[in-house]
Structure 1
Amino acid sequence: MKLLAKDLQESREKLVLAREEERRQIRKNLHDDLAPRLAALALNVATAEKYVVKKPDIAIEMLGDLRKVIRATVDEIRTLVHDLRPPSLDELGLISAIEERISELNKPARLLADEQGIVPIHIHLHEPPLLPDLPAAVEVAAYRIVTESLVNVIKHSQATECTVKLHVSSLNQLVIEVTDNGTGLDPSYTLRLPGKGGIGLHSLRERAAELGGECSIEQVERGGTRVLAILPI
């Protein structure tokens, strides 16, 4: 019991540290990059205003430059927002957002397979029964676990089939399965200590653990790999 309590305390401390690190990074991005850029935009607009009447050609040139900077700034803000919560979750919902991501991944995978003369991978989502309203944190974790798993499959598995399944168990848990028919886990993976896998695999476990859930990556008997994540709702 003492060991379990100690492990639990250590896990909580790691989560707090990870959360604070994310907040620090967001603050840094806002303070060191976006804030000065927006201040510079305001200054440049004020300068352009002075040239509108006196030297309109210079004003037009400055406004053209401002347009480019504004577009770049908007892209950075979108990236920052996407890192916090993918916009597609709010726009489409979890299942449709996953379907959209699968569609996005299938296209380049087919093109790459055609270039290499190999059988392209086909990723499909088993249409789940109607899911209940999920907490925002569970939606984000589920989306990230699925998408990161799919990227790993495409990059490393040499699979031709990959299936994504989601359902809610009788214990009120969201169960996520991503299964492929590829080459399976690297033999060295089974020799690594828990939590010492690659960055992608470690990230999957962290996302589940943050919500009090769990995530495992295992070899499938018939060949391939299965990612199984269980998230409390």
Structure 2
Amino acid sequence: MDIENFGVIEDLYSDIKKEQEEQLESLKKKKCQIAEIDTYLDGILSKEQNDLQVFLPRKVENLYHDVIEQNKQKREKLVAECDEIEKFLHMGEVKLERLERIIANQSVLFHLKQLSVLDVQEKERQRIARDLHDSSLQNLTHLVHKVELSSLYIDQDPVKAKLELATVESGLRKVIDDIRNRIYDLRPMTFDDLGLKEALLKLFVVLNQDEKYKIETDIDDINADLSDSETELALINIYRIIQECVQNSISHSKGDWISVSLKDEKKFYKISIQDNGVGFDLKEAIKKNRHFGLLVVEERVFLLNGNIQINAENGTSILIEIPKKVEEE
């Protein structure tokens, strides 16, 4: 449930609460009217009856028949209205209890999503820091040593110094390419320029540079309005989800075939990623905190109010449904 729908439920709760209070006030007034009628009738049938029996042989009911009947009918009508109000109040209380449970559950869910957002952000930072440390930073450190070595050779053996500097130049170009790839990984430029499908196809080429895997694709060309922040967020997260799943298959499956499907359906984006690898024990992986990438995928799906099913017995099969934004009529 998104924040807007959560607000609708809170508004509904407030409206029912206000209506309950109005009906309760109306019930009190009607019960006061019933009490007044009872007092009035008791007065007629007691005190006045005793006084009139001295002078008149007729019963007081006959003397005040029309007045008594009118008040009895009014009383019956008020009692029926009170019964209806009490039934309405009971149903209202039931509705309020249900809404209170929903609001409490959604408050917990909203809090969990906030924590998940922070968790995903922190894990992304850790991944970026780890990748930079293991690649670019180490390469740059190695190149610094090369430059220092070249400075020692430059007077004694200029040719050797030039060869070392040529190695440094080549290494720096590789570091630049590596950093460029990291920047592309943070925000694929093809995603903004050409759309999700082309960004994914380019991604698969980069991930499968050694062509070890046969990657089959069935990806719909999703022409979504990226100026809408909610839709843009959903699509970039779909990109990240597919990226992580394919990267996991390439890194861990030990297979040679991957299938990727992304279908643009009426109410959902449906994602399917399969490989013919060795699979893994899902419960054991969760227990030992392995397959870190899949945990990130599950958190992303949770944040998008989606559903995910993972089957890792014979190869790995991942099915995901991401709900689309509900368009206002």
TM-score scaled by length of structure 2? 0.44
Match of residue 274 from structure 2: 179
AA matched with 1:217: I
Higher relative contact order (CA 8 A, sep 6+): 1
1:124 pairs with 216, 222, 246, which one?
216
Aligned to 2:240: 144
User: Gapped runs of 5+ residues in structure 1?
Assistant: 27-67, 111-120
Query: Does the aligned pair in 2 maintain the 1:109–1:154 contact within 8 Å?
Result: no
Q: 1:90 to 1:194 in 2, by over 3 A?
A: farther
- Which of 87, 91, 102 does residue 204 from structure 2 map onto? 102
What RMSD, in angstroms, separates the aligned Cα atoms of the two structures?
3.9
Contact map agreement 1:179 1:225 (CA 8 A) in 2: yes
Structure 1 residues 2-151: aligned runs within 5 Å: 2=104, 5-16=107-118, 78=180, 81-110=183-212, 121-128=213-220, 130-133=221-224, 135-151=231-247
Superposed displacement of residue 201, structure 1: 0.9
1:230 aligns with 2:312: no
Partner residue in 2 for 1:42 = none
CA–CA distance in 1 between the matches of 2:200 and 2:318?
Answer: 16
* 1:218 shift after superposition: 1.7
Letter matched to residue 174 of structure 1: Y
Match of 2:252 in 1: 156
For the residues of structure 1 that align with 2:174 and 2:305, how far apart are their CA atoms?
38
1:199 equivalent in structure 2: 292
Higher helix share: 2
1:86 and 1:140 in contact (8 A); partners too: no
Q: Distance in 2 between matches of 1:21 and 1:122?
A: 29
CA, structure 1 residues 131+14, in 2 after alignment: closer, same or farther (shift >3 Å)?
closer
Count of residues in correspondence between the two structures: 181
TM-superposed deviation, 1:204: 1.0
Q: Give 1:215's match in structure 2, choosing from 308, 315, 320.
A: 308
Structure 1 counterpart of 2:78? none
Residues 205 and 216, structure 1, Cα contact 8 Å, conserved in 2? no
Q: Secondary structure at the match of 2:209?
A: helix
**Which ranges in structure 2 are unaligned for 5 or more consecutive residues?**
1-100, 129-168, 325-329
Aligned partners of 2:304, 2:179: CA distance in 1, in Å?
27
Q: State the distance in 2 between where 1:151 and 1:85 align.
A: 17
Residue aligning to 1:118: none
Amino acid at match of 2:187: R
Q: Secondary structure at the match of 2:208?
A: helix
Q: Match of 1:53?
A: none
Deviation string, structure 1 residues 153-174 (Cα, Å, up to 9, x no partner): 1111122221100012332x21
Q: Distance in 2 between matches of 1:126 and 1:165?
A: 5
Q: Percent identity?
A: 27
User: 1:147 Cα shift?
Assistant: 1.6
Partner SS state of residue 263, structure 2? strand
Task: Describe the superposition over 1:120-140 as per-residue Cα deviations: whole angstroms up to 9, x where unpaired.
Answer: x21121143x42416221221
Task: Give, as a single letter, the amino acid of the residue that structure 1 aligns with 2:258.
Answer: C
Runs (4+) off by over 3 Å? 1-5, 16-23, 71-84, 191-197
Q: CA deviation at 1:200?
A: 0.8
